[in-house]
Structure 1
Amino acid sequence: MSKAIPMHAPVGSSRARNFWSVCAVVVLLALFVQAWIVVQARPQDLITGAHGMANIFSRAMPPAFDEFVPNLRPILETIDLAIFGTVFGVLLAFPLAILAAANVTPAMPLYYIARAVIGVTRAVPDLVWALVFVTAVGLGPFPGALALAVHSVGMLGRLFAEVIEDMDMGPVEALTLTGAGRMQVLSQAVVPGVLPSLLGIGLFRFDENLRSSLVLGFVGAGGIGFQLLTSMNLFQYQTVSFLLIATFVLVACAERISAYLRSLVM
């Protein structure tokens, strides 16, 4: 009976792998060192400045829980900003995603236009969009809601398009062979096939929009962020600590609710 001959990788290929692994490690270390230099990292400053942080924390205690009622409206504004931005982001992103998915787009020029729109809305940060809309419509929650909606179009449009491109094309081809029109194929094959994934992505985006709405308040877009900035400027650190606690509770609750709803639709 003949014995099986063990197969070994060539020595040359193993050495080449080791060489490129070492090169990758060296490049990563070089990138980290240059980042350390560029950001002017000084860990010793954290030690020497610890007393300043301790002073702020001591002045922030106890939290001003009596500020709950006066800040109830900003808290609701923060939630509504996320809801508005997510809903309109989904409504605008889905048609773009249909055009930006190579397997269902009606024409390649529309594919490239949709991809360009998605790329631009995603590349510009929501904070920049908020500044743009503040100059157009003034201060308040509306520019923040518009900023979240536009930025959500970019993020959701890309994810929606990828889901549609990865979908099972069997039902689409079957309906097409029966002579169904484009809208029938879209409503009876494409949408049912990707709807659970799209709902899950939309809920995840709501999570992100809730966090982003807090930051948008720093540029006058309403919500808890605006109250937090005002309290910091007035050195009302007890109010700041209360608003931070309220923010934590709000985000934690939104995460749990969003995770539960995603578990139902996924």
Structure 2
Amino acid sequence: MNKALEMRAPTGSPTARTFWTLCVVVVALALFVQAWIVVQARPQDLLTGAHGMADIISRAMPPAFDQFIPNLRPVLETIDLAIFGTVFGVMLAFPLAILAAANITPAKPLYHASRAIIGVTRAVPDLVWALLFVTAVGLGPFPGALALSVHSVGMLGRLFAEVIEDMDMGPVEALTLTGASRLQVLTHAVVPGVLPSLLGIGLFRFDENLRSSLVLGFVGAGGIGFQLLTAMNLFQYQTVSYLLIATFVLVACAERVSAFLRSRVT
């Protein structure tokens, strides 16, 4: 009997752990192999096509720094797209987050409705929203700003709701016991308790919106992205290289400023 028990490996034994680890490794390898096949990966093409990439890079040198003044407005448009999208995203996301937070939502139907809105705006990529708004209002920075605002509602709404759900409910319960109204509880307990976290998330979203605004220009939503697409279509590779440098500097500066401000408010 003892020998039979010894031969049977319990679930938490080293033998069982080794077996399940091996299973996980096999499944992971199988997933990677099927992904390799589906994407039709051909690493050898990188080697055979390297001369084409080198040719484009050589034609892009030196960068056309004389395009600095003509492209100041697109740079400003890119920054303003991110500002507009972030500010309006925060303004729309915060009320939705209050309704979508299970601990303070006034009614279950409002909870599910707000969660649905947040889910839809987050699930649809900002590039798709930009295409829809370009069709509605035409080319220019305005459809890009609208697209960033709507997509930010989904991303910020979810994060804001999670912050509110994780907040300390002590001040809320104390004010509720004193007979404070729902609005008073919101302004004197909820907002002060979560404001630093919300500001930090909002600044991080600004950083993300700045990157997204560069891509939205590819569908006619203004900014550096539109100038970059135009230069590529006209084979102006020196202008392309300058715009890429300007993009890198802009994103790097915005990232550092955003990180500094987040460290101050959180």
Same-fold status (TM-score > 0.5): yes
Aligned counterparts of 1:170 and 1:50: Cα–Cα separation in 2: 62
| Aligned position for 1:159 | 159
**Alpha-carbon shift at residue 11 of structure 1 (Å):** 4.8
d(CA) in 2 for partners of 1:179, 1:16: 58
* Counterpart position of 1:251: 251
Match of 1:202 in 2: 202
Q: Secondary structure at the match of 1:206?
A: helix
The residue correspondences of 1:37-186 to structure 2 (distance < 5 A) are: 37-186=37-186
Q: Distance in 2 between matches of 1:11 and 1:259?
A: 52
Distance in structure 2 (CA, Å) of the matches to 1:96 and 1:21: 43
Structure-2 separation of matches of 1:11 and 1:169: 47
Distance in 1 separating the partners of 2:204 and 2:227: 26
Letter in 2 for 1:45: D
Q: Which residue of 2 aligns with 1:7?
A: none
Q: What percent identity do the matched residue pairs reach? A: 86
Secondary structure of 1:105's counterpart equals coil
TM-score, length of structure 2 as denominator length: 0.96
What letter corresponds to residue 193 of structure 2 in structure 1? G
Paired residue secondary structure (1:102): coil
Question: C-alpha root-mean-square deviation of aligned residues, in Å?
Answer: 0.8
Paired AA for residue 86 in structure 1: T
**Structure 2 Cα separation of the partners of residues 168 and 26 of structure 1:** 44
Distance 2:82 2:74 in 1: 13
Question: C-alpha offsets along residues 182-206 of structure 1, whole Å, 9 cap, x if unaligned?
Answer: 0000000000000000000000000
Mapped partners of 1:18, 1:90: distance in 2: 48
Aligned length: 257
Name the CA distance, whole Å, in 2 between partners of 1:11 and 1:184: 61
Question: What is the CA deviation profile of residues 203-250 of structure 1, one whole-angstrom value per residue up to 9, with x for unaligned ones?
Answer: 000000000000000000000000000000000000000000000000
Distance in 2, Cα, partners of 1:153 & 1:25: 38
CA deviation string 1:7-46 (max 9, x = no partner): xxx9522232222211111111111100000000000000
Structure 2 equivalent of residue 21 of structure 1:
21
Q: Which amino acid aligns with 1:28?
A: A
SS across alignment from 2:212: helix
TM-score using structure 1 length: 0.96
**Using the alignment, how far apart are the partners of 2:17 and 2:83 within structure 1?**
50
Q: Secondary structure at the match of 1:93?
A: helix
Equivalents in 2 of 1:107, 1:22: separation in Å? 48
For residues 26 and 94 of structure 1, the distance between their equivalents in structure 2, rounded to whole angstroms, comes to 44
Over residues 160-189 of structure 1, what are the superposed CA-to-partner deviations in whole Å (9 max), with x where a residue is unaligned? 000000000000000000000000000000
2:118 is paired with a residue of what secondary structure?
helix
What is the SS of the residue equivalent to 1:17?
helix
Q: Which amino acid aligns with 2:22?
A: V
Q: Secondary structure of 2:29's partner?
A: helix
* More moved, 13-22 vs 23-32: 13-22
Query: Which one-letter code corresponds to 1:29 in the other structure?
Result: L
Q: Which amino acid aligns with 2:146?
A: L
Identify unmatched segments of 5+ residues in structure 2: 1-7
In structure 1, distance between residues paired with 2:159 and 2:227 = 33
Instruction: Read off the aligned partner of 1:137 and give its amino acid letter.
Output: V
Matches within 5 A, 1:209-220: 209-220=209-220
Aligned: 1:237 with 2:237: yes
